[in-house]
Amino acid sequence: MGNVHELNHPLLQHKLSILRDKNTGVKEFREVVGEIAALMCYEATRDLPTEEVEIETPIAMAKCRCLAGKKLAIVPILRAGLGMVDTIISLIPSAKVGHIGLYRDPRTHEPVKYYCKMPPDISERRVFVVDPMLATGGSASDAITFIKEYGCKSITLMDIIAAPEGIARVQKDHPDVDIFVAAVDEKLNENAYIVPGLGDAGDRIFGTK
């Protein structure tokens, strides 16, 4: 079973309270989503392997450690996942970016796929799937299934807010995937929105409501 890492860092809690506030405007919402993504990326990449390199500083030779092993890919689930990409690739500039377009059917709440474009060498990369919201888990589970069809073996999911139902769904469908979340909320409502959540992440990032 994949591990669930709930990151209760004070900075994340503070920034989450800004996202949850219905009076937070688009500009600040978008900025804070990016800031949270960067903080979460710091934790989710804690186990990346490193190798020793020798560097000449202006003073002396120094044994340092650089990233080693598998290269990385970031895969946002469109649209809202896009809000997490820029700050993550500013920390990991060599990461490639794949895109999966999914929207939830408003009646059934089932994900509908409309776009998929992956880097050609995605199967050799460690993949971080990013999306602010894990509600029923249908979108994340389908996205991970699509990515596995490319031969990817190492996949991590990063969501800002998760419902217990979404975590359970991903753990059942993809027991090999670790999940990083900033908060696990109480439940889903009758429209499959997370309670208390933050509303519709895509609409709040892109100002479409």
**Residue type for 97, please?**
V
80-139: contacts with ligand URA (CB under 6 A): 80, 133, 135
Nearer to ligand URA, 150 or 193 (CB): 193
Q: Name the token pair of 40.
A: 């979460």
Nearer to ligand PRP, 119 or 166 (CB): 166
Give the residue closest to ligand PRP by C-beta.
Answer: 202
Nearer to ligand PRP, 85 or 201 (CB): 201
Catalytic annotation present for 108: yes
Rounded to whole angstroms, how far apart are CA atoms 200 and 147?
Answer: 25
Rounded to whole angstroms, how far apart are CA atoms 36 and 41?
Answer: 8
| Residue 206 binds to ligand URA (criterion: CB under 6 A) | no
Q: Which long-range contacts (CB under 8 A, 24 or more apart) does 48-55 make?
A: 48/72, 48/126
Smallest separation, CB 146 to ligand URA (Å)? 19
The correct pick among 4, 71, 200, 206 for binding ligand URA (CB under 6 A) is 200
Smallest separation, CB 202 to ligand URA (Å)? 6
| In the chain, beta strands by DSSP E | 4-6, 50-56, 61-67, 71-78, 96-97, 99-104, 111-117, 125-134, 155-162, 178-184, 187-188, 194-195
Positions that interact with ligand PRP (CB under 6 A):
77-80, 102-104, 109, 111, 131-140, 166, 192, 200-202
Nearer to ligand URA, 74 or 201 (CB): 201
Catalytic annotation present for 107: no
- Burial zone of 25 (CB within 10 Å; 0-12 exposed, 13-18 middle, 19+ buried): exposed
Q: Helix and strand tally (H, E) in the chain?
A: 6, 12
Catalytic one among 104, 125, 126, 204? Answer: 104
The residue to which tokens 């860092």 are assigned: 9
109 binds, among ligand PRP, ligand URA, none (CB under 5 to 8 A by kind): ligand PRP
Helix H or strand E segment including 177: none
193 binds, among ligand PRP, ligand URA, none (CB under 5 to 8 A by kind): ligand URA
User: Which positions are annotated as active-site residues?
Assistant: 104, 108, 200, 203
